[in-house]
Amino acid sequence: MIKVDNDIIEKCKSGDRSAFRTLVLAYQPMLYSLSLKMLCHEEDAKDALQDTFLKVWQNISSFDGRCSFSTWIYIIASRVCLDRLRSARHLLPLPGDEDTLRDYADDTDPQRSLESCEWVRIARLLADRLSAKQRLVFTLCHFEGLEQAEVVQITGMSADKVKKNLYVARQTIRERLKQLGYE
């Protein structure tokens, strides 16, 4: 990742497009990853990424350093994704996901199970069925590897709300796994 220091941020605040390009190059992979995990479709993720960077450009002068820049930009990206999820009102039904998960559960060949039964992929499929807030918290904690304190900052939720959403998300995924034959 390209190093983004306060100098680049200050240049962006004064309208320096070259500095902003550096910022985009530095944060694009991280924010695209978050957007894709939240929205589950490449085109939606690309659109969200573009919206995120537009909002960053429009609002960079409001960045005051109370939190790290990466936290601030994560906040913007997560809100863009949440807005998209709310406006589309989708608890994303993925075509064939139920059958795919059942195939994993029914597979008796141990070698194939090890190769094809990717728990992260399964968790992502199941996370797609969570509410937008649960999905955001689950994604940030489990797929992005953030600490709960960082998730509190990014989401603006209280620590208790983050814990509750994470707990409900885990329980929901655990129940779905049981329903599909995973113990």
pLDDT at 181: 76
pLDDT > 90? residue 47: yes
pLDDT tops 70 at residue 2? no
Among 39, 6, 35, which Cα is nearest to 23's?
6
Confidence tier at 173 by pLDDT (50, 70, 90): confident
What pLDDT sits at residue 93?
Answer: 44
pTM for the model: 0.67
Residue extent(s) of CATH 1.10.10.10 domains in the chain: 97-127+129-179
> Which residue intervals of the chain bear CATH 1.10.1740.10?
6-88
| CA end-to-end span of the chain | 39
| Domain 97-127+129-179 coded CATH 3.10.129.10 | no
CATH hierarchy code of domain 6-88: 1.10.1740.10
Residue range 149-163, pLDDT digits in tens:
999 999 999 999 999
